[in-house]
Structure 1
């Protein structure tokens, strides 16, 4: 791979990267930095980038406010970061690194057949334990809302 080809290579499934020239004796692949030119996305109009950026920040703030409460706080945080990652390289880098770490953890959790079977049995037990509340929930005495 020539130095010019390495400087403009993209990593599949992640944000565009540029590879700076490596020091003598070091492989080029060790030094990856986000490409600052990827934040503009020249094919999209400015108004669309602005709307998606504002929407992403609203989702992040709403997710942060709802996170300690029962509700979709974590889902809104993830959705906000994914929305921002479409137009901002810093968000794309964080989403990509989170995705990479999550896949490593999942692969570690099901590395052996015993672990995979245990995970399946625990998930099945939790699902079966929740079914009585879905089929015939009894309203507690302290519940203030009408049934």
Structure 2
């Protein structure tokens, strides 16, 4: 057989595949940053975006390890006690419930100062994203519980300070 027959078939030219991976990485990275303060899996999207960008950029490789370590540490801490597990599950279920209420739509309350069209704007588009965020959160809780419950991650303590020494003390 020739080398062409052994090579795996690809549907995208290599230059297009690189661009698609890069664009997906940037979209996931930006979504992850936004989801750190908005409802959604912020660290998960951040880690996924950095993983894709690490295929091309050295800076993304350097950032991926601490983000991944922080995500695993938070996942481990979140399932070590039953109150944490229960509150995490409750938070995920509340997100799903808010998404359903948002999608179904409720009449605006009397105290709402703006026009009625501004009450729960977005309809099912916003509702589905909230439901998906709650579903992802619940899935991550189940994963974290199976992987880390009873086996917490231990982070080594740095023996050296993170701040650099003053210039006069450095060896030249």
Using the size of structure 2 for normalisation, the TM-score is 0.37
Q: Which has the bigger relative contact order, CA under 8 A and spacing at least 6?
A: 2
Using the size of structure 1 for normalisation, the TM-score is 0.42
Higher percent of residues as helix: 2
